[in-house]
Structure 1
Amino acid sequence: MNYLWFFAVAGGAALLGIALAFGMIKQDGRRSVFAIAGAFIVAAGALGLGLYVGDAPTAPLRASDREGSQSRLPAAATTEKDLPGK
């Protein structure tokens, strides 16, 4: 499902970019080709970085259980007795 939203957002941005590129080429073709080529290089780098970050491992998730063992972990949620002045 995440990829569906990714392609929806990226597809909209790509269509906008194509429309802008078409308008730039119609106004000043030679000069805008270099700008469009630079934009494609930046877009390819951003796509590669996004895929790298998306595939990076995340911290393990420990679900709650009946004994409440997640509250005894070193990074447990703060309770009132942990607050200063209590």
Structure 2
Amino acid sequence: MINYLWLFAIAGGAALLGIALASGMIKQGGQGSPVAVAGAFVVAVGALGLGLYVASAPTAPMRAPDREGTQNRLPAAATTENSQPGK
């Protein structure tokens, strides 16, 4: 679920920017290059497609803490006071 929130925040913003650019070029008089307008729409669609791909990619597994504290013995465990620089 959180992946789709990031999809909306990142790719949605890029897609809205592409649509805004394209509509601005069209409203400016229509004399702009049709290639530029099509390019803005391609950027919008490409951003949404890439965002959907990233949102559907698997994420790293999370290991919940347990009573024995085994999560602190993993290679990427949280730091302790003794592992800080200068100690």
Place the TM-score, normalised by the shorter chain, in its bin. 0.5 to 0.7
The alignment covers a number of residue pairs equal to: 81
Q: TM-score, normalised by structure 1?
A: 0.68
Q: Which structure is higher in helix share?
A: 1
- Who is 1:37 aligned against? 38
TM-score, scaled to structure 2: 0.67
- Larger relative contact order (CA 8 Å, sep ≥ 6): 2
Matching residue of 2:58: 57
CA distance in 2 between counterparts of 1:26 and 1:66 reads: 63
* Aligned position for 1:17: 20
Deviation at 1:73, TM superposition (A): 1.0
- Over 3 Å counting, the alpha-carbon distance change for 1:26 and 1:68 in structure 2 is closer
Gaps of 5+ in 2: none
**Which ranges in structure 1 are unaligned for 5 or more consecutive residues?**
none
Structure with higher Rg: it is: 1
Give the residue type in structure 2 aligned to 1:57. P
